[in-house]
Amino acid sequence: MSYSEKVIDHYNHPRNVGSLDKLSNDVGTGLVGAPECGDVMKLQIRVNRDTNVIEEAKFKTFGCGSAIASSSLATEWVKGKTVDEALSIKNMDIVKELSLPPVKIHCSVLAEDAIRAAISDWKKKQETAKPLAVEAK
Partner 1 sequence: MTLTTITAKPAPEETQTCWSCGAMRASHFCEACGKVQPPAPVDYFTFFGLPRKLNIDVVALDKDFYELSRKLHPDLNARAGSQEQGWSLQQSSRLNDAHRVLKDPIKRTEYLLKLEGVELEEQSKSATEKARATGQLKEQVVPPDLLEEVFELNVQLEELRMNKKMGEDDPALVEEIGRQKLELEQKHEALLEELKGYWKQWDALIDREQSGQSVSQDERKQVRDKMVGLLNRRNYIRNLVRDVSEALEG
Task: Catalogue the active-site residues.
Answer: 37, 107
What's the rounded Cα separation, in Å, for the pair 47 and 27?
A: 6
- As beta bridge partners, residue 58 has 44
The tally of CA atoms less than 13 A away on the side-chain side of residue 71 is 35
**Contact call for residue 17 and partner 1 (CB under 8 A):** no
Q: Contact with partner 1 (CB under 8 A): which of 18, 48, 51, 90?
A: 90
Burial of 127 (0-12, 13-18, 19+ CB in 10 A): exposed
Taking CB under 8 A as the binding criterion, the range among 44-52, 66-74, 101-109, 126-134 that sits at the site for partner 1 is 101-109
Q: What are the start-end ranges of the E strands in 24-76?
A: 27-34, 39-47, 54-62
Query: Which one of residues 4, 25, 120, 126 is an interface residue with partner 1 (CB under 8 A)?
Result: 120
Task: Decide if residue 33 touches partner 1 (CB under 8 A).
Answer: yes
CB 7 within 8 A of CB 75: no
Site residues for partner 1, window 47-76 (CB under 8 A)? 60, 62
Which residue from 17, 20, 31, 53 is in contact with partner 1, where contact means CB under 8 A?
A: 31
Determine if 22 is a binding residue for partner 1 (CB under 8 A): no
Q: Which residues bind partner 1 (CB under 8 A)?
A: 31-38, 40, 42, 60, 62, 87, 90-91, 105-106, 109, 112-113, 116-117, 120
